[in-house]
Amino acid sequence: MSKKTYNLALVGFGNVGRAFVGLLRTKHNILRDQYAIDFRITGIASRRLGWLAKPNGFDLDRLCEHGLTTSETSDSSETPETSQRSIRDWLKVSSADVLFEATPLNRHTGEPASEHIRAALEHGAHAISANKGPVVFHLDELSQLANSRGKRFLFESSVMDGTPIFNMFRHCLPAIDLRGFRGVLNSTTNVILSGMERGMPFEEALRQAQQIGVAESDPSDDIEGWDAAVKTVALANVLMGARLTPADVEREGIAHLTGEQVRVARREGKAYKLVCRAMRRHGRVVASVRPELLPLTDALALVDGTSSIVYFETDMFPGLALTEDHAGLEATAYGMFSDFIEAVESDRAVSRPA
């Protein structure tokens, strides 16, 4: 198997982006020895850094240990980094073979993440997204564009971190009929509800979620159920062929729940969870997100903290569950990593003689 060096470009260099770079360094030998893949990171972009390109590649150890707080100095034997004006110039100068999109979600339009994916595919690069926006708002357009360019648009990390939901259906469940699903998919609300069960006031449980890094400084999208709604739409659109937007989801958040309600429920052998649902009804897919009071015999009631679960109903498996136990940033990074390998394997499949 011949080895190819891939030029990688990352847009979004926050916690997820840095975790991904760290995983690339950790798995470098495995990529090289088992998959005949080598790589260099030739583009890094963020709101703070701008569009930085370095055709010979950024120093991987430096990125992992120090990040990019200032412009990296180079000796005269190296190609210096340059700052570009736009994503299309950046992709060209960095000669990107694969784009990794890890910018924050815009739940209203999916932009600018969708434009990042679009630009990458038009440039001729595979596009891998940890951002749900492009999946929710532009799935058909971007998938068709990827097919027309012979490239892949992959997004395993967009829901439940790197848990292989989309890959499971794509590779392991051919011709399956997915009738519906329900799940607990938002870590922030799960951490808050778990804290309230232990006696914390709502505000203290929220601060804990922010301290461990699962909640934003403005947690309204989580508390009001928007993040869960976006994830529900991503699953329904990709796996069930729905054409929903977040506004189509019947949505209710957790702000009205009191600590007393949550603790009384627990004493009675029940638990409140923010439950995502999608089902086929009368030829269409309907979806909802709302707090539900579940018996502790229900698997969804047992996930706590940053854990997640999704429970699928199919024609072959009446109940098929995927559970993610207290995953961190490494799990999200792994989803992007696995998509990278799949994109490389698709290149090789095309290049093999018939």
pLDDT tens-place string over residues 27-47: 999 999 999 999 999 999 999
- The pair phi, psi for residue 268, each rounded to 5°, is -90, 10
Q: What is the mean pLDDT of residues 115-126?
A: 98
The amino acid at 216 = E
Q: What is the mean pLDDT of residues 150-179?
A: 95
What is the model's pLDDT at position 353?
59
Which residues sit opposite 100 in a β-bridge? 10, 128
CB-CB contact of 153 with 143 (8 Å):
yes
What is the model's pLDDT at position 153?
98
Predicted confidence band of residue 57 (pLDDT cuts 50, 70, 90): very high
Q: How far apart are the first and last CA of the chain?
A: 17
Tokens of 350: 């095309």
Tokens of 346: 């698709």
The answer, yes or no, to whether residue 69 has pLDDT greater than 70, is no
Model pLDDT for residues 246-265, shown as the tens digit of each residue: 999 999 999 999 999 999 99
Instruction: Select 170-326's CATH number: 3.40.50.150, 3.30.360.10, 3.20.20.450, 3.40.50.410.
Output: 3.30.360.10
What is the model's pLDDT at position 350?
76
DSSP 168: I
4-162+330-351 and 170-326: identical CATH topology: no
The answer, yes or no, to whether residue 354 has pLDDT greater than 90, is no
What is the model's pLDDT at position 214?
84
Q: What is the mean pLDDT of residues 219-233?
A: 96
User: Which runs of E-coded beta strand occur in 169-283?
Assistant: 178-184, 250-251, 270-281
What is the model's pLDDT at position 44?
96
pLDDT, averaged across the chain: 92
The amino acid at 271 = A
Tokens of 77: 């034997």
What is the model's pLDDT at position 65?
82
The amino acid at 168 = M
* Calpha distance 319→321 (Å, rounded): 6
Query: By three-state DSSP, how is residue 260 classified?
Result: helix
Predicted confidence band of residue 70 (pLDDT cuts 50, 70, 90): very low
Q: Assign domain 4-162+330-351 to its CATH architecture.
A: 3-Layer(aba) Sandwich (3.40)
What is the model's pLDDT at position 351?
67
What is the model's pLDDT at position 201?
94
Tokens of 314: 């199919």
The ranges assigned to domains in the chain are: 4-162+330-351, 170-326
Q: What is the mean pLDDT of residues 323-337?
A: 91
What is the model's pLDDT at position 215?
83
The answer, yes or no, to whether residue 245 has pLDDT greater than 80, is yes
Query: By three-state DSSP, how is residue 257 classified?
Result: coil
What is the model's pLDDT at position 212?
84
Query: By three-state DSSP, how is residue 293 classified?
Result: strand
The answer, yes or no, to whether residue 210 has pLDDT greater than 70, is yes
What is the model's pLDDT at position 217?
82
Predicted confidence band of residue 82 (pLDDT cuts 50, 70, 90): confident
How many residues make up the chain in this entry? Answer: 354
